[in-house]
Structure formats: structure tokens, C-alpha cells
Amino acid sequence: MRWSDFPILERKIYDRYPLVYLDNAATTQKPRQVVEAMTEEYFNVNANVHRGVHFLSQKATELHEASRETVRRFLNARSTSEIVFTRGTTESINLVASCFGQAFMKEGDEVIVSEMEHHSNIVSWQLLQARQGIRLRVCPITDDGLLRMDEFERLFSERTKLVSLTHVSNVLGTVNPVREIVRIAHEHGVPVLIDGAQSTPHMPVDVQAIDCDFFAFSGHKIYGPTGIGVLYGKEKWLDRIPPYMGGGEMIKTVSFEKTTFNDLPYKFEAGTPDYVASTGLACALDFVSETGFDAIQAHEHDLTAYAMERLMEVDGMKIFGPGIDAHDAVISFQVGNIHHLDMGTLLDRLGIAIRTGHHCAEPLMHRLGIEGTCRASFALYNTRKDVDALVDGIERVRQMF
């Protein structure tokens, strides 16, 4: 990776301060090659996919399906039939909630989630609860932000139909033991959906090794474009659940009497896909693969450990979540009685971008007994210099209060 791969990192904030971008859990910056690949396609290969016999349509289709193969390889899925393009993790979870729920769940059936879930993995199931009368069972966490695995296994019953848990907490940085979670669930005959929005940018994911039944992630959190994401699903489930939306491309035949659906994965991809964004996503995944997860993990682990050490030098600092051995590249914190919004606003005036608030995890905030936190989250382009700037900025704000 070269610093010049990310031109936005060279800009000055308020025409004065160099940008210190520490909001990567919300979205990552995009390398130049991702933007250039998308621009190249718009300028030279733009045509609707799968529907044309002309040259541009065939070339656009080749690029789109090559991107699907890149995703398959990145996740080590068995087949491209198991790779569904969506708008992101949120849509992927909603797709499973709607389609799996319609096919396999009835009133009184249960889904297991946890106290650390993003709203996407709570509200989606509450919508199903309102429609079909299912129940949410919530796995508790420890005070330091780890799943209570003893309680997790006790939540299973004959009514449990699905487990839906995050791989990495977007607030606490907790890395959940997904292989153990899947093993326990499968012993009870229950499939598992993993929210991988916060794991895919930071660690290798092998869906066959994890053995999860569904896995969701977003392009924009892994150096790719917005509006594109992926749902991996085992063919045995995707074959059995109904489509999410109706329209073009997801059909084989249509009459006023009956419609037959297309083969996988197109059964779940109604309408014109964002075939340019899929090219950008594939380019981003190639960028990450070429950088190498060994290098990414070593760099981010060092950076996170350094940040936790430096932050604890600040008087009144409280860091939420587990220790560094179970911690991914995100740190949520509070400083004394300084409101998180005040801290974030004043750091912004110094060119330092962090996230503040409940981070779409209000139930977790309630569990922690707080309204919100400041959150610094790291990417492969961040440095110890960024951490030092953050700590210096926090000290300046603290002294103001």
C-alpha cells in the first residue's frame, strides 16, 4: 500500500489541519484504483448486464460475473451460486429475515441474537416478530464485552430456528468465536447467520471453515464503493427460501397464471444490479488480498494496542470492551464527564474524525449504562502518528473542560 493510493488523506480540514481519519468502522476511504476501475467501466463498458447480445452488454456482464468470482474466492465459498449481491450488510440481513422467516418460521419460533448487535441485526427480526409472531432470544455479554457462551447454549429450544450474531462488535471491538458458535448451533440443528461487516476488512474469512449458513458484509467498509454488499448463503438454504423481491432477471418464465424463478444466485437479484459497484468491490477485495491479511492484522493489532496504551494516559479515560487479545481495530471510550458529542465536535475542529453516539447499538448502550461513546476505528492506512494526534487532541479538549 502507498499513501498516494488514498488521495483524500492528503487534504486539509478547515484549510488548516491534516486529516486524521479514525472513522473506519463507519466507512473506509477508497484507494485510487477502485475509483479508477469504476470510472473506466462507466466511460468504456457501460451497458446493462445479462440482457444484451451486443458487445458492451457482454463485456459488462463478464466484468460483473468476474466480480462475483472474486468475492467467492475472497470468502472461499464453494460456488458463485452462493454469492448474492445486495446493497450491503443491512439488506443482506433483511433478506434472510424476510425469506428464511417466510419459509421456515411461524408464531412462537425463536431467533437468537446478542446484546452487542447492530440495529440491522435487531430491527430486521423485530419486523418479522410483528408480521409472524416470532420471538427474539438475547444472549447476554460480560461486563468487559464478551459473549456469555454458557448462557448462549442455554437459549436453545425446540423452537429455535436461527442464530444471527455479529462476527466483530462495531462498538466494543469484541471478536466473537464464530466457529464455536456455529458448532454449538449445528449440534442443535440450527443454522447461523454471521454479520461480517466489521470483520471482513480486518481478518481473513473462510465461510467453509466457519461453516456458517449465511454471511453478510458491505463493500464500503472494506475500501470499496457504497451501495454494494454480499450475502453468502449455502445453496441448500438459498434453494429452499423464496426470493426477496420480484422483477426482471430473477425469473425464468412469467405468465399471469404462474412465474418460475431463475437459478441461483439470480433468483435474489431482481432488477438491474449495480454492475459498476461490483467491479469496484472486486477491485477493493483484490487490493486487500494483495496487501495481505498477515500484514494488515499485524499492523492493526500493533496500532490498536498502542492506541489503548496511549489513551489510558489520559485522566478520566474509560475504554469499553475486552482486552487487546480479544479486541479488533475499534476503541470506544469516554473521558470523565465530557459528553461524547462535545468531544467529537471539538476534535473535528482539529481535523480529527471520530464517531460519536450510540453507533446503531442502543441496546448495548443500555447494557453498559451509558448514552453513547466516542469511537476511534483504524484501517490499514492509519499510523501511530494518527493515534498521537488523537491523544493530543483529547488532552486539549479535556483541558477546556
- pLDDT one-digit tens code per residue, 249-305: 888 888 899 999 889 999 999 999 999 999 999 999 999 999 999 999 999 999 999
Residue 198 within any structural domain of the chain: yes
C-alpha cell at position 300: 492493526
Active site residue ranges: 360
C-alpha cell at position 286: 483484490
Of the candidates 278, 253, 273, 277, the residue with the CA atom closest to the CA atom of residue 263: 253
Cα–Cα dist 93/98, whole Å: 9
Cα–Cα dist 21/354, whole Å: 7
**Binning pLDDT at 50, 70 and 90, where does residue 197 land?**
very high
Domain count across the chain: 2
Residue 3 has pLDDT above 80, yes or no: no
**Binning pLDDT at 50, 70 and 90, where does residue 70 land?**
very high
Cα–Cα dist 199/350, whole Å: 29
Cα–Cα dist 205/207, whole Å: 6
Q: Do 386 and 254 fall into the same domain?
A: no
State which amino acid sits at residue 33. Answer: Q
Q: Do 81 and 190 fall into the same domain?
A: yes
Q: What is the reported pLDDT for 55? A: 94
Q: Looking at mean pLDDT, say which of 47-56, 191-200, 239-248 comes out highest.
A: 191-200
**Mean per-residue pLDDT, 313-329:** 92
Mention every residue, 6+ apart, whose C-beta is less than 8 A from residue 55: none
Q: Do 125 and 209 fall into the same domain?
A: yes
Beta strands in 177-256 (DSSP E): 192-195, 214-218, 229-233, 251-254
Domain boundary residue, one of 231, 263, 289: 289
**Binning pLDDT at 50, 70 and 90, where does residue 75 land?**
very high
Do residues 261 and 252 make contact, with C-beta atoms less than 8 angstroms apart? yes
Q: Do 280 and 351 fall into the same domain?
A: no
Domain boundary residue, one of 258, 289, 320: 289
Q: Do 43 and 162 fall into the same domain?
A: yes
Q: Do 16 and 71 fall into the same domain?
A: no
Cα–Cα dist 57/47, whole Å: 5
Cα–Cα dist 37/281, whole Å: 10
Q: Do 59 and 198 fall into the same domain?
A: yes
134-189, pLDDT tens digit by residue?
A: 999 999 999 999 999 999 999 999 999 999 999 999 999 999 999 999 999 999 99
The CA-based dihedral angle spanning residues 38, 42, 46, 49, taken in that order and rounded to the nearest 10 degrees: 30
Residue 267 within any structural domain of the chain: yes
Residue 257 within any structural domain of the chain: yes
Q: What is the reported pLDDT for 209? A: 98
CATH code for the domain of 375: 3.90.1150.10
**Mean per-residue pLDDT, 212-236:** 98
Residue 117 within any structural domain of the chain: yes
Domain encompassing residue 114: 34-289
Residue 27 within any structural domain of the chain: no
Residue 327 within any structural domain of the chain: yes
Q: Do 281 and 305 fall into the same domain?
A: no
Q: What is the reported pLDDT for 1? A: 64
**Mean per-residue pLDDT, 8-32:** 96
Q: Do 277 and 299 fall into the same domain?
A: no
Q: Do 348 and 209 fall into the same domain?
A: no
Give ∠ CA 200-195-327 in degrees, rounded to 5: 60
Question: Is the whole model's pTM more than 0.95, yes or no?
Answer: yes
CATH code for the domain of 53: 3.40.640.10
Cα–Cα dist 343/340, whole Å: 5
DSSP character for 318? E
Domain boundary residue, one of 289, 322, 340: 289
Q: Do 308 and 346 fall into the same domain?
A: yes
Of the candidates 392, 375, 28, 372, the residue with the CA atom closest to the CA atom of residue 200: 28
Residue 316 has pLDDT above 90, yes or no: yes
At which residue does the C-alpha cell 471510550 appear?
Answer: 333
Residue 28 within any structural domain of the chain: no
**Binning pLDDT at 50, 70 and 90, where does residue 196 land?**
very high
Residue 200 within any structural domain of the chain: yes
Of the candidates 104, 70, 101, 102, the residue with the CA atom closest to the CA atom of residue 85: 70
Residue 232 has pLDDT above 70, yes or no: yes
Three-class secondary structure assignment of 104-144: HCCCCCEEEEECCCCCHHHHHHHHHHHHHCCEEEEECECCC
Between 252 and 90, residue with greater pLDDT:
90
Q: Do 135 and 274 fall into the same domain?
A: yes
DSSP states of 238-307 as a string?
Answer: HTTSPPSS-SSSSEEEE-SS-EEEPSTTGGG--S---HHHHHHHHHHHHHHHHH-HHHHHHHHHHHHHHH
C-alpha cell at position 124: 430486521
Of the candidates 145, 123, 170, 137, the residue with the CA atom closest to the CA atom of residue 329: 170
